Structure 1
Amino acid sequence: MLPFFTEPYPDELIYSAIARYHFYSGNLDCKDTLEEVFQSRTVIPSLEIGSHFANLVTQIGMNYSVEKLLSEHTIYPYYAPLLTSVRQQQIMRDVKGNGKGLYARLGMAAGSICKKAGLYYCSQCAKNDIERFGEPYIHREHQLQGINVCAHHSLHLKKYPIDFTMSSRIEFIRFEQSKMDLSALQSVQANYSDLEVQLAQMAYKLLKVNISKYSRENIVKKYRALLRERGYITTANQVRQQELHKDFLRKIPNNFLEKYDSFLDIDDEYNWLKVLTRNIKRHVHPIRHLYFLCFLEQDVKRFLEEVTEDQGPFGSGPWPCLNKAANHYKRPVIEKVTVTRDYKSKAPIGTFECSCGFVYARKGPDQFANDLYHIGRIKVFGNVWKAKLIELEAEQTYSIRALAKMLGVDSKTIKKYLQSEEDKSKSSMDSTSQLELPRQIVLNGINSHPDHSRTAIRKLFPKEYMYLYRYDKEWLLERLPNKKAPVQSKGKIDWYVRDLEYMNKMKALHNELISLEKPVRITKSLIGKRLGIVANLENHLDKLSLTATYLNKICESVQAFQIRRCCKIINRMIKNEEPVLLWKVQRLGGVKSHHFHEIKSILESYLCQRQEVDCHDQTTS
């Protein structure tokens, strides 16, 4: 343990505290400082976070822990709530040890946005530090990527003249007053200055967050709760990406986002806003999360502490059975809800089906806790409910109104189901007598026409035949004549002639299918059904060589059909002089995103060819 250590100032980077220790200890060689602080001469100092914290904590004293240093004296809290819980655990192991893979897990290694190539400070903060502590130091909030303004004084940050990227990798840089420009600066007077200040303040609040309390999994669910509240979540639980992109860019335009390496390409299926709202595993830079919170008009602290996680329009379940006739009434026994959309209001409709047969529905989303026990409409009462009704009615001690109250329905419903039970009882008593007449008619017909086939009997007595087939099938089949064996054709088939006939018909049908306004995929099954030759195509195609060759030529794979359908849409757009937007082609063509990504380059080539042809036509005309 060190005899003394320069205790870190509020929000000072641990790198800065070690740099001050190196200065005050009088060490000339930085490797001596590394050995004293980290018990190793091969450690490479890191500005933003660092490594070998287990050794560092042992050396500087028991007042510190790895978690305390990481939380209060590194920029890690800027990233922590936006990382998955798995990554958080991996990073905790990284900083305790040699830090291998640390910055890659944070998303700072490759493709990092708004990367700062030096040390930054706020002149007013530096003045305050000198007055309070006698020296300036490196504030962690001033080193955050994407933040160019002081959160406390709304002033542009200044770059320290000594660039650590140009110095030795093991050298510690300490802020020196003599090398800093502490002249008074005016408040930011540029476009979007209010937004830049707001982002800086949000980033500072993010640094104060408990690093172990939140994770990307929680954040995404909170996002979805806010998106659902604002109508950006569909009934199928998907994000309305097109609407979200348009509204987002109205509030935070691309000319600002481009300045911070965050240009938003709506046509890009993997742009950062889509990844942020639907992919938990992929990392998104914290500054982009802050843009999204600005769009949602959320304060960081309120968002993390008060916004509840999305549970869907009807909560996470299980849901209660609201069948008053069941012994599990109001108990959470329903494990699944089916969500559909109301065709008028577009609101979600939840249908809850219990194992007792009771099915009810209600309109969402739920707003209050009591909504859980609300029934919009009962779809099916089920056998348990009906059995209870019959049981209570048999006691003959309750009025219709009392039965309705006990079973949770209207009096008219009770009357309806009691009448239905009476009708069923009468129907069962009369069913045998109702079968006698059609039985006698069909039986007399069979006896009068012993040579008739089943089909002939059916044509003679169609009404009676169908009635018995539906309600007394076993009796009917026992008394009908035996089925006759099919007559085998003795004529020899000329397969060559048939082959030519099929191929000519297919050519005509193919031309008809290609010219359809609404394209259909050309398949062997479709050709066979349209021409009525399914059996021969399935069983005798080996005898139809011309037909088989032509079929292979015209039948389409799913991808080929998607390309043809999208090209047809492009042609229509060009003909109508509409702008050809590939995202619109994808939507009109009904092609899923991962499939469209595979054919996008083909469609782009086709579009270029069409445009070249049109330009040539216009030039020649």
Structure 2
Amino acid sequence: MLPFFTNPYPDELLYSAIARYHFYSGNLDCKDTLEELFGSRSVIPSVEIGSNFTILAEKLGHQYSVESLLTNHTIYPYYASFLSKQRQQEILENVKGDGQGLYTRLGIVAGGICRKDGLYYCSTCAKADAECYGEPYIHREHQLQGIDYCSHHEIPLRKYPKTNDSRIEYIRFELKHMDLSPLYEIDSHKELAIHLAKQAYKLLNLPLHYLSREQINSKYRTLLREYNLITSSNRVRQQEMYQAIKSTLPNSFLQRYESAVNNNDEYNWLRILTRNLKRHVHPFRHLLFLYFLQYSVEKLVDIDEDDGAFGRGPFSCLNKAAAHYKKFIISNVIVTRDFKTKNLIGTFTCSCGFIYSRKHTTDMFEIGRIKAFGDVWLEKLHDLQQQNLSIRAIARELGVDFKTVKRYLIGNVEIKQVKSHRDNDDILGIYKQDLLKEIKKHPNLSRTALRNKYKKQYMYLYRYDKVWLDEALPERRYGQNTIKKVNWAKRDQQYVQEINRLHQKLLQSEKPIRITISKIGKSLGTLANLEQHLNKLPKTNKLLNDIVESVKDFQLRRCYKIIDDLLENDQEIFLWQIQRKAAIKSHHFHAIQPMLESYIEMKQEVTNNERTTS
């Protein structure tokens, strides 16, 4: 245990406390400080989080733990709420040990935005710290990516002028290097930027692992339901949500913080955030999404997780005639959407035959509409009638309007029963009669005319009794000029020219696109012929065999383009950098690595020869 340590101040980064310890201990070499704190001279200082916390906590004494250091003196809580429970545990183990792969698991490497290339401070905070503690220190909230304002004093942050000259050097804030004059800038988005800074500070102060990615996603769906952005099939209305985001968040602000949404990109951050994907979305973008939903971090904590529009079930039967009235015995709900109001409608079917529906915004014991009463209800109705009760008394007993009772007793209403799969035969019979009547009435109608006139019947019969339909329909009619002979040789030559033009266009595309028969066919509107009639198109077939790319070919072309760009800009080439930019999985990248190395060697040799010649 250390004889003393510079105990961290409120909201101080652990890095800052260690920097102060190094200064006050009198150590000249940072490696001596590292050995005293971590028992190793090879630990690399980390501003944001750090590693080897188990050893450090033991050295500092019982008042410190790995969890308390991680929660109160690193930026980890900024990211923690948006990580899966499994990833949270993995990171906790990472910081206890050497921290290998920590920032990759955290998503800072892949999903980082608005990266800060130094240390930042608030001039008012620094002045207050000097008065209160005798020295300024590094506040963790001022180092968060995407945050440019102090959440307390609402002024822009300044960059500390001193930077690291060595990877193992610790920087300690000193007043002599700081500009303490208030900084005021004209910023049209100041109000929004300050709001996000305050929300980021709230994230930092949540209890460790109080929320997880699974909970956050479920809470988001609850909020999206309030905005009617969840379909009856439980999918997010991506297009409508995109339009709503556009009208809420200024595009100039989103571009400034590297968060503009490209709706044509299937993996833009907004789609990833609202889908159950494993990709990381930066915490700053989560804060943008909460701003769009008009919710704060505190309110999000209190929001219930999503159980669907009508909950998880079971659901209550509201048949007053049944012994199980208001008991939760209905296991499923069928969710649809009202065509006019767009409200979600739940339909509940009980084994007693009672079917009712209601909106998702109404009370669980409220009936919107009764679709079928069922045998139990009808039996109760007749029992009450035999007791010589008045119609109004029966209506009160059954929980319906007296007019409904009157109609059913008179018998002028068709009793709706629960439909089952056995009803298909009845439906088939009815639809067959409809079609046969029309054919008999208008024998000259063509198949197409019949299909257009009886679309519902035609499609149902086509699906469930195609043989009968084909026999019942009139003979197919072919006009004299209906069948035209195709000049396949001419079409073959035309396709070759069109495909060559498209091929060059695809190769020149800024974002590489894999060249496949499907891509070419869909782009030219000739997919059916390319898939079914290539035997009649020999030149087209040969051209496609030459230009269509396998997955491996496409991966190589992507990597070659990246290499060419790096060489053109005189940048150093690293294979890991190529893999990351090309987004190729490791086991696939290892297979093409020898070819890439040969290509790099060849291109470098050509470049060197050109320079020598010139």
TM-score bracket, normalised by the shorter chain, equals 0.5 to 0.7
Give the distance between the partners of 2:197 and 2:412, measured in 1 at CA: 72
Helix, strand or coil at the partner of 2:215:
helix
Helix, strand or coil at the partner of 1:47:
coil
Verify the 8 A CA contact 1:154 1:188 in the aligned structure 2. no
Give the distance between the partners of 2:236 and 2:162, measured in 1 at CA: 47
Q: Compared with structure 1, are the counterparts of its residues 157 and 6 closer, same or farther at alpha carbon in structure 2 (3 Å cutoff)?
A: same
Q: Compared with structure 1, are the counterparts of its residues 399 and 162 closer, same or farther at alpha carbon in structure 2 (3 Å cutoff)?
A: same
Corresponding residue of 1:486: none
Corresponding residue of 2:293: 296
Unaligned runs of 5+ in 1: 425-465, 471-508, 510-524, 534-546, 554-566, 568-596, 608-621
1:386 partnered with 2:382:
no
Give the distance between the partners of 1:364 and 1:5, measured in 2 at CA: 58
Corresponding residue of 1:401: 392
Corresponding residue of 2:56: 56
Helix, strand or coil at the partner of 1:109:
helix
Q: 1:210 aligns with which of 201, 207, 212?
A: 207
Give the distance between the partners of 1:53 and 1:601, measured in 2 at CA: 56
Give the distance between the partners of 1:328 and 1:42, measured in 2 at CA: 71
Corresponding residue of 2:2: 2
Aligned pairs for 1:55-204 (under 5 A) are 55-164=55-164, 167-182=165-180, 184-204=181-201
Letter of the 1:11 partner, please give it.
D
1:343 partnered with 2:339:
yes
Helix, strand or coil at the partner of 1:386:
helix
Q: Percent identity?
A: 56
1:279 partnered with 2:276:
yes
Verify the 8 A CA contact 2:111 2:280 in the aligned structure 1. no
Aligned pairs for 1:288-367 (under 5 A) are 288-305=285-302, 307-366=303-362
Please tell me whether Structure 1 or Structure 2 has the larger radius of gyration of its CA atoms: 1
Give the distance between the partners of 2:295 and 2:72, measured in 1 at CA: 24
Give the distance between the partners of 1:598 and 1:212, measured in 2 at CA: 48
Q: Compared with structure 1, are the counterparts of its residues 604 and 268 closer, same or farther at alpha carbon in structure 2 (3 Å cutoff)?
A: farther
Give the distance between the partners of 1:601 and 1:2, measured in 2 at CA: 69
Verify the 8 A CA contact 1:217 1:280 in the aligned structure 2. no
Verify the 8 A CA contact 1:84 1:280 in the aligned structure 2. no
Helix, strand or coil at the partner of 2:81:
helix
Give the distance between the partners of 1:24 and 1:310, measured in 2 at CA: 52
Give the distance between the partners of 1:272 and 1:17, measured in 2 at CA: 35
Give the distance between the partners of 2:199 and 2:38, measured in 1 at CA: 33
Q: Compared with structure 1, are the counterparts of its residues 388 and 361 closer, same or farther at alpha carbon in structure 2 (3 Å cutoff)?
A: same
Q: Which moved more, 1:235-244 or 1:98-107?
A: 235-244
1:226 partnered with 2:215:
no
Corresponding residue of 1:587: none
Give the TM-score normalised by the residue count of structure 2: 0.66
Verify the 8 A CA contact 2:272 2:281 in the aligned structure 1. yes
Q: CA deviation at 1:330?
A: 0.9
Letter of the 1:316 partner, please give it.
R
Letter of the 1:221 partner, please give it.
S
Verify the 8 A CA contact 1:220 1:280 in the aligned structure 2. no
Q: Deviations over 1:259-305 (max 9, x none)?
A: 22212112111111111122353211011111112222223223333
Corresponding residue of 2:247: 250
Q: Deviations over 1:479-536 (max 9, x none)?
A: xxxxxxxxxxxxxxxxxxxxxxxxxxxxxx9xxxxxxxxxxxxxxx9xx99x979xxx
Give the distance between the partners of 2:378 and 2:212, measured in 1 at CA: 49
Aligned pairs for 1:493-532 (under 5 A) are none
Letter of the 1:28 partner, please give it.
L
Give the distance between the partners of 1:29 and 1:17, measured in 2 at CA: 17
Q: CA deviation at 1:72?
A: 1.0
Corresponding residue of 1:444: none
Q: CA deviation at 1:353?
A: 0.9
Give the distance between the partners of 1:92 and 1:127, measured in 2 at CA: 35
Give the distance between the partners of 2:521 and 2:99, measured in 1 at CA: 45
Q: CA deviation at 1:116?
A: 1.1
Corresponding residue of 1:18: 18
Verify the 8 A CA contact 1:351 1:359 in the aligned structure 2. yes
Q: Deviations over 1:135-167 (max 9, x none)?
A: 111110111011122222222222222323xx3
Give the distance between the partners of 2:364 and 2:246, measured in 1 at CA: 37
Give the distance between the partners of 2:291 and 2:414, measured in 1 at CA: 65
Q: Compared with structure 1, are the counterparts of its residues 328 and 423 closer, same or farther at alpha carbon in structure 2 (3 Å cutoff)?
A: closer
Give the distance between the partners of 1:600 and 1:211, measured in 2 at CA: 48
Verify the 8 A CA contact 2:111 2:281 in the aligned structure 1. no
Verify the 8 A CA contact 1:114 1:261 in the aligned structure 2. yes
Verify the 8 A CA contact 2:111 2:282 in the aligned structure 1. no
Verify the 8 A CA contact 1:358 1:381 in the aligned structure 2. yes
Corresponding residue of 1:44: 44
Verify the 8 A CA contact 1:216 1:280 in the aligned structure 2. no
Q: Deviations over 1:385-417 (max 9, x none)?
A: 3333344545x3644433332222233433444
Give the TM-score normalised by the residue count of structure 1: 0.65
Corresponding residue of 1:440: none
Aligned pairs for 1:493-572 (under 5 A) are none
Q: Compared with structure 1, are the counterparts of its residues 111 and 363 closer, same or farther at alpha carbon in structure 2 (3 Å cutoff)?
A: closer
Helix, strand or coil at the partner of 1:379:
strand
Q: Deviations over 1:536-571 (max 9, x none)?
A: xxxxxxxxxxx9xx9xx9xxxxxxxxxxxxx9xxxx
Give the distance between the partners of 1:125 and 1:328, measured in 2 at CA: 65
Q: Which moved more, 1:228-237 or 1:123-132?
A: 228-237
Give the distance between the partners of 2:22 and 2:364, measured in 1 at CA: 63
Aligned pairs for 1:254-273 (under 5 A) are 254-273=251-270
Give the distance between the partners of 1:417 and 1:218, measured in 2 at CA: 49
Number of residue pairs aligned between Structure 1 and Structure 2: 442
Unaligned runs of 5+ in 2: 416-428, 434-446, 448-462, 472-482, 490-501, 503-515, 527-614
Letter of the 1:317 partner, please give it.
G
Verify the 8 A CA contact 2:407 2:413 in the aligned structure 1. no
Give the distance between the partners of 2:414 and 2:14, measured in 1 at CA: 85
Q: Deviations over 1:451-474 (max 9, x none)?
A: xxxxxxxxxxxxxxx9xxx9xxxx
Helix, strand or coil at the partner of 1:352:
strand
Corresponding residue of 1:431: none
Give the distance between the partners of 1:598 and 1:309, measured in 2 at CA: 45
Taking only aligned residues, the RMSD between alpha carbons, in angstroms, comes to: 3.5
Q: CA deviation at 1:226?
A: 2.5
Q: Deviations over 1:66-89 (max 9, x none)?
A: 222111111111111122222222
Q: Deviations over 1:360-402 (max 9, x none)?
A: 1112333xxxx100011211222333333344545x3644433
1:373 partnered with 2:365:
yes
Q: Which moved more, 1:338-347 or 1:9-18?
A: 338-347
Letter of the 2:259 partner, please give it.
S
Q: CA deviation at 1:31?
A: 2.5
Q: Deviations over 1:51-104 (max 9, x none)?
A: 121222111121122222111111111111122222222212222222222211
Q: Which moved more, 1:222-231 or 1:19-28?
A: 222-231
Q: Deviations over 1:305-350 (max 9, x none)?
A: 3x33333332332211111222221112222111112222221111
Q: Which moved more, 1:132-141 or 1:291-300?
A: 291-300
Helix, strand or coil at the partner of 1:373:
coil
Letter of the 2:232 partner, please give it.
T
Letter of the 2:392 partner, please give it.
R
Helix, strand or coil at the partner of 1:82:
coil
Letter of the 1:339 partner, please give it.
V
Helix, strand or coil at the partner of 2:311:
coil
Q: 1:413 aligns with which of 371, 392, 404?
A: 404
Q: Deviations over 1:557-589 (max 9, x none)?
A: xxxxxxxxxx9xxxxxxxxxxxxxxxxxxxxxx
Verify the 8 A CA contact 1:53 1:96 in the aligned structure 2. yes
